[in-house]
Amino acid sequence: MIDVIIDVTVLAFLTITAVAIVRMTNLFAIVMLFGIFSFLSAVMFIGMDAVDVAFTEAAVGAGISTVLMLGTIALTKDRKEKYPGGHRPWLPLAVVIVTGATLVYGTLDIPAFGDLNAPSQKHVAPYYIEKSMEDTGVPNIVTAVLASYRGFDTLGEVVVIFTAGIAVLLLIGGRRRKSDVAGQAGEDDDE
Amino acid sequence: MNNLILRVVSKILIPLIIVFALYVQFHGDFGPGGGFQAGVIMSAAIILYALVFGLDAAEQVIPSTLLRVLASMGVLIYGGVGLVSLLFGGNYLNYTVLASNQIAGQHLGILLVELGVGITVFSVMLIIFFAFAGRGRI
C-alpha cells in the first residue's frame, strides 16, 4: 500500500516538473528542474529496490549533467528563442497523442511489476540469484553481474565513455592552443 | 570568487566527498555502488573545487595531461585484466584463473576491473567538464 502511495506521489511530482520545464523560458530554472526530475527518478528507482541504478541517476543525472548544462548555458545564452510565427500545435499534438496511446497500449501486455513468471525473471536471473555468491563470493549480485558475468558488456561501456571523452576533446578541447594564440596576438600588438 | 561561506563549506565537504567516493568504489562488492558511481562522485569533488576556487586552481590539482593519461589507463587496466587471464590460460575476462581459488580470483578481478572503470569515468567526466568550462575564458 505504502509503495503505491509513494509511486503515485513521485509520478505526480514528475509530471508537474515536466510540465513546468515545458512552460518555462528561463533556461537556468529549467536546468535546475532537470536536476529535480533526476532526483525524483532516483526516488522511483529506490522504490523499485534498484539502489544501484538510483545511485547512478542521482550522481550522473542530477550532479554531472546539471553542471555540464550550466556550463553550456554560460557559453550560449540563458533564454529560449521565441517561437517563429505561424506555428500550429495540432499536428505535433496528434503525433504525440497517437504515439503515447500506442505506448500505453503496448504496456497492457507487459507482465506486472515483480511478476515471478515474467520472461525476464525466468531466463538467467534465477541462476544469478542462486549461484552468484557461490561463483564469485560477492554479496552484491548487481556487482557480480556487472563486473564478472557481464564483464564484456562493462568493458564496452567503459570504452564508450572513453570514446565520449575523446570526442569532446576533439570537438571543443584545445583551449590551451587558443589562449597561446591570444597571447601571441597580444604580444604582436605591443610590438 | 570571494564568497567566504562557499569556500569554507566546500573545504569541509570536498574531503568527505572524496572519502565517500573511495567507499563507494571499494565497498561496491558489498553495498550499492561500484566504479561508475565512484568515478562520478570523485569527479564531483573536483568540479565543486573548480566551481568555488576557479578552473586554474582545479587544473593545478589535476593537470589535463594527467587526466588524459588516467582516462586511457582505466581502459587499459580493464583490458589488461582480460589479457592477464588469457595468459593464465583462462578465457578473456575470466577472473577465476587470477588467484589460487575461484572466489579469490573473482574478488581480485572484480576489484581491478571496477578500479579501471572508476578511473576512466572520473577522468572522462573531468575532461568533459574542463572542456566545457574552459571554452568560456579564451
Domain limits of chain B?
A: 4-135
Which pLDDT score is estimated for B88? 87
Which pLDDT score is estimated for A162? 94
- Chain A contact for B129, CB < 8 A? yes
Query: Using one digit for the tens of pLDDT, what is the confidence trace for A29-50?
Result: 999 999 999 999 999 999 888 8
CA distance A86 to chain B (A): 35
Spatial neighbors of B113 by CB under 8 A, at least 6 apart, are: A147, A151, A154, B35, B77, B78, B81, B93, B95
- Chain B contact for A167, CB < 8 A? no
Mutation target vs B (from A51, A72, A128, A143; most B CBs, 10 A cutoff): A143
pLDDT < 50: residue spans in chain B: 138
Beta carbons of A138 and B107 less than 8 Å apart: yes
Which pLDDT score is estimated for A40? 94
Q: How far is CA A8 from CA A3, A21, A58, A144, B2, in A?
A: 9, 20, 20, 32, 44
Chain A residue with minimum CA distance to B92: A152
Q: What is the mean pLDDT of chain A?
A: 83
Which pLDDT score is estimated for A21? 92
Is the pLDDT score of A179 beyond 80? no
Beta carbons of A151 and B37 less than 8 Å apart: no
How many inter-chain contacts (A to B, CB under 8 Å) are there? 144
Q: Which segment of A117-126, A160-169, B42-51 scores lowest on mean pLDDT? A: A117-126
Residues 43-72 of A with CB under 8 A from B: 51-52, 54-56, 59-60, 63-64, 67-68, 71-72
What predicted TM-score, i.e. pTM, was given to this entire model? Answer: 0.83
- Chain B contact for A148, CB < 8 A? yes
Which pLDDT score is estimated for A32? 93
Query: How confident is residue A77, by pLDDT bands cut at 50, 70 and 90?
Result: confident
Query: How confident is residue A188, by pLDDT bands cut at 50, 70 and 90?
Result: very low
Q: How far is CA A19 from CA A11, A16, A24, A103, B114, in A?
A: 12, 5, 9, 20, 39
Is the pLDDT score of A187 beyond 60? no
Alpha carbon distance B52, B61 (integer Å) = 14
- Chain B contact for A168, CB < 8 A? yes
Beta carbons of B102 and A135 less than 8 Å apart: yes
